[in-house]
Structure 1
Amino acid sequence: MAKAQETVLELNLNSLSHNFEYLKSKLKPSTKFLGVVKAFAYGSDAVVVAKHLEKLGVDYFAVAYVNEGIVLRENGVTTPILVLHPQPINFKALIEHCLEPSLYNAKVLNEFIETATKQGQKDYPVHIKFNTGLNRLGFSENDIPFIINKLKSTKCVKAKSVFSHLVASEDLDEKEFTENQIKKFISIAERFADLIGYKPWLHLCNTSGLLNYPNAHFDMVRCGIGLYGFGNSFKEDKNLIPIASLKSVISQIHNIEKGESVGYNRSYRASKSERIATIPIGHADGISRIYGQGKGFVSINGKSAPIAGNVCMDMLMVNITNIECKEGDEVIVFGQENSASNLAESAGTISYEILTAISSRVRRTFTK
Structure 2
Amino acid sequence: MHKATETVLEIDLNALAQNYRYLTSKIEKSTRVMGVVKAFGYGSDSAAIAKELVALGVSYFAVAYPNEGVALRKADIETPCLVLHPLPATFKQIVDHCLEPAIYSRAMLTAFIAFAEKEGLSKYPVHLKFNTGLNRLGFLADDLDFISEKVSNTKSVKIKSMFSHLAASEDASEKVFTESQIAQFEKISEKIIDNIGYKPLRHMLNTSGVLNYPEAQYDMVRTGIGLYGFGNDPEENKHLKPVATLKTVISQIHTVNEGETVGYNRAFKATKTTQTATLPVGHADGIKRIFGNKRGWVTVHGKKAPIIGNVCMDMIMIDVTDIDCEEGDEVIVFGENPSADELSQVIATIPYELITGVSQRVKRVVCRK
Please tell me the TM-score bracket, short chain as reference.
over 0.9
Partners of 2:2 and 2:367 within 8 A in 1: no
Which residue matches 1:273?
Answer: 273
CA offsets, 1:205-227, max 9 Å, x none?
00000000011111100000111
1:333-357 superposed Cα distances (whole Å, 9 cap, x missing partner): 0112321111111121111011111
Asked if 1:155 is matched to 2:158, the reply is: no
Q: Percent identity?
A: 58
Letter in structure 2 aligned against 1:260: E
**TM-score normalised by length of structure 1:** 0.98
**SS of corresponding position for 2:221:** strand
CA distance in 1, matches of 2:321, 2:200: 61
| Aligned pairs for 1:348-367 within 5 A | 348-367=348-367
Q: Amino acid of the residue matched to residue 145 of structure 2?
A: P
Give SS of 2:228's match: coil
Aligned residue identity for 2:180: N
Aligned to 1:309: 309
| Residues 93-172 of structure 1 mapped to structure 2, 5 A cutoff | 93-172=93-172
What is the rounded CA distance, in whole Å, between the counterparts of 1:131 and 1:224 in structure 2? 19
Q: 1:46-61 to 2 correspondence within 5 Å?
A: 46-61=46-61
Q: Which amino acid aligns with 2:224?
A: G
Match of 1:212 in 2: 212
Q: For residues 272-316 of structure 1, give each alpha carbon's deviation from its aligned partner in whole angstroms, at most 9, with x where no partner exists.
A: 221111110001111111211211110011111111121111001
Mapped to 2, the partners of 1:141 and 1:309 lie a distance apart of 54
**1:3 to partner: Cα distance:** 2.3
Measure the CA separation in 1 of the matches of 2:26 and 2:258. Answer: 56
Partner AA of 1:251 in structure 2:
S
How far does residue 2 in structure 1 lie from its aligned partner after superposition? 4.2
**Partners in 2 of 1:283 and 1:142 — Cα distance?**
46
Distance of 1:107 and 1:263 partners within structure 2: 53
What is the CA-CA distance between 1:323 and the residue it aligns to? 1.6
What residue identity is the alignment partner of 1:151? V
Distance 1:301 1:281 in 2: 18
Task: Give, as a single letter, the amino acid of the residue that structure 2 aligns with 1:9.
Answer: L
Q: Give the Cα separation in 2 of the matches to 1:332 and 1:115.
A: 50
Give the alignment's Cα RMSD to 1 decimal. 1.1
The one-letter code sitting in structure 1 at the alignment partner of 2:217 is: H
Return 206-215 or 338-347, whichever deviates more. Answer: 338-347
Q: Is the 8 A contact 2:256 2:270 kept in 1?
A: yes
Alignment partners' CA distance in 1, 2:160 and 2:185 = 16
Distance in 1 of aligned mates of 2:221 and 2:271: 53
CA distance in 1, matches of 2:296, 2:136: 31
What is aligned with 2:91?
91
Provide the residue aligned with 1:321 in structure 2. Answer: 321
| 1:20 alignment counterpart | 20
Task: Give the distance between the partners of 1:140 and 1:269, measured in 2 at CA.
Answer: 58
Secondary structure in 1 matching 2:30: coil
Counterpart residue identity of residue 60, structure 1: Y
In structure 2, distance between residues paired with 1:3 and 1:113? 52
Letter paired with 1:312: C
User: 8 Å contact 2:2–2:10 — kept in the other structure?
Assistant: no
Distance 1:136 1:151 in 2: 23
Alpha-carbon deviations, 1:240-293, whole Å to 9, x = none? 111111100111111112232211112222222211111100011111112112
* Equivalenced residues, count: 368
Runs of 4+ in 1 over 6 A off after TM superposition: none
Q: Measure the CA separation in 1 of the matches of 2:39 and 2:242.
A: 17
1:224 maps onto 2:224 in alignment = yes
| Aligned ranges 1:194-343 → 2 under 5 Å | 194-343=194-343
Could you state the TM-score of these two structures normalised by the residue count of structure 2?
0.98
**Range that drifts further, 62-71 or 171-180:** 171-180
Counterpart CA distance in 2 for 1:231 and 1:89 is: 35
Shift in Å, 1:358 = 0.7
Question: Which amino acid in 2 is paired with 1:227?
Answer: L
- Structure 1, unpaired ranges of 5+: none
